[in-house]
Amino acid sequence: GGIITQTPKFLIGQEGQKLTLKCQQNFNHDTMYWYRQDSGKGLRLIYYSITENDLQKGDLSEGYDASREKKSSFSLTVTSAQKNEMAVFLCASSRTVNTGQLYFGEGSKLTVL
């Protein structure tokens, strides 16, 4: 088995601030994903990385940057936090991009004051 670790678990920011979320996986999976979860809207894909050094935009990439530092880690940066924004950011990994079986972390909850 393996585990996805997301840090921090809770993040409070100010409007306009740049905020970074980190994700580590020890599955030795090739592919990693960042999703945003809003109440009533399901999960929306922000960025994904097929392999180390690869970066692909999802449906919601505007306002975010991502970085795949090494095979086991994938970071997401909110480039300018929006006032009253509240969402959960979920990191996931899969053995390859050719499977829909994703393994998710517990999420990082963002609140912008």
Partner 1 sequence: QQKVQQSPESLSVPEGGMASLNCTSSDRNFQYFWWYRQHSGEGPKALMSIFSDGDKKEGRFTAHLNKASLHVSLHIRDSQPSDSALYFCAASEGRGSALGRLHFGAGTQLIVIP
Residues that bind partner 1 (CB under 8 A): 4, 31, 33, 35, 40-45, 48, 50, 58-59, 90, 92, 94, 96-107
Which residue is associated with the tokens 């970074």?
Answer: 20
> Considering the complex, what minimum distance in angstroms separates the CB of residue 17 from partner 1?
25
In angstroms, the CA 77 to CA 28 distance is 23
Count of H-run helices and E-run strands, the chain: 0, 11
Q: Which is nearer to partner 1, 69 or 106 (CB)?
A: 106
Q: Which is nearer to partner 1, 47 or 81 (CB)?
A: 47
**In contact, 80 and 18? CB cutoff 8 Å:** yes
> Considering the complex, what minimum distance in angstroms separates the CB of residue 4 from partner 1?
7
